[in-house]
């Protein structure tokens, strides 16, 4: 049921948009397939925290965020405003049980998940519409360097844990110290064929 709701929301949200969906700007520092190091510019995100499994939390979070960008907001000039969809949709575990040294624990957590959309780059914290739903929060993320692993296919918790472990092992080889939890980024609508999907695990580091 949650998957069908997520699919319907994605179809509705992306209908009418061109294929050139905006993505956060970054500078590529290093590339060693399937790994990359990236310097991201500051960005604004709209985020919610929701409980449950990763798939259920993603669907619930997506609904809340879609409601906000569809117009359940208050624009600075008055009224409401429809905000363009960007990519990716991000998910991050909020449970303190999740450790960078044992990412497989992502399979077992039943805690909170943070789900977010990156806001279009044309907005500042002064110009972006404010959410009417207090569950939706706006936050400015400073410039951040991420280690990234890219993969296709589905994003079940077991596969996410496996890819996170691969990324953390690569970071250790390079002497990179993580400074935050792993983030799952999904770039495609759910009707995309699995082998064409772009998924990423991103870990901020010093």
Which residue from 113, 89, 69 is spatially nearest to 23, judged by alpha carbons? Answer: 89
CB 118 within 8 A of CB 44: yes
Q: What is the rounded distance in angstroms from the CA atom of residue 186 to the CA atom of residue 45?
A: 15
CB 88 within 8 A of CB 23: yes
**DSSP letter assigned to residue 33:** T
The tokens 């960005």 sit on which residue? Answer: 43
Instruction: Output the six-digit token pair for 156.
Output: 């079940």
Domain coverage including residue 176: 2-204
Please state the pTM of the whole predicted model.
0.79
CATH assignment at residue 30: 3.20.80.10
**Counted domains in the chain:** 1
pLDDT in tens, the chain (206 residues): 545 544 445 544 444 343 457 888 999 999 999 999 999 999 999 999 888 888 888 888 889 999 999 999 999 989 999 998 888 888 887 644 333 332 222 333 357 888 988 999 999 999 999 999 999 999 999 999 999 999 999 888 889 889 999 999 999 999 999 998 899 998 887 778 989 999 999 999 98
């Amino acid at each position: 049921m949650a998957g069908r709701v997520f699919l319907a929301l994605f179809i509705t949200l992306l209908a009418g948009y061109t294929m050139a969906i905006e993505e956060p700007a970054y500078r590529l520092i290093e590339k060693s397939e399937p790994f990359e190091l990236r310097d991201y510019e500051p960005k604004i995100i709209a985020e919610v925290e929701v409980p449950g499994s990763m798939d259920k939390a993603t669907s619930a979070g997506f609904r809340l965020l879609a409601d906000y960008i569809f117009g359940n907001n208050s624009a600075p000039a008055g009224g409401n405003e429809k905000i363009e969809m960007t990519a990716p949709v991000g998910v991050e575990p909020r449970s303190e049980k999740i450790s960078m040294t044992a990412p497989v624990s992502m399979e077992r957590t039943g805690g909170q998940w943070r789900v977010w959309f990156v806001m279009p780059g044309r907005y500042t914290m002064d110009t972006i519409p404010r959410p009417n739903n207090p569950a939706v929060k706006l936050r400015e993320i400073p410039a951040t360097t991420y280690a990234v692993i890219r993969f296709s296919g589905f994003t079940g918790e077991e596969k996410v844990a496996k890819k996170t472990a691969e990324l953390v092992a690569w970071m250790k080889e390079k002497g990179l110290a993580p400074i935050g939890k792993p983030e799952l980024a999904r770039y495609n609508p759910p009707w995309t064929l699995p082998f064409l999907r772009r998924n990423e695990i991103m870990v901020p580091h010093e």
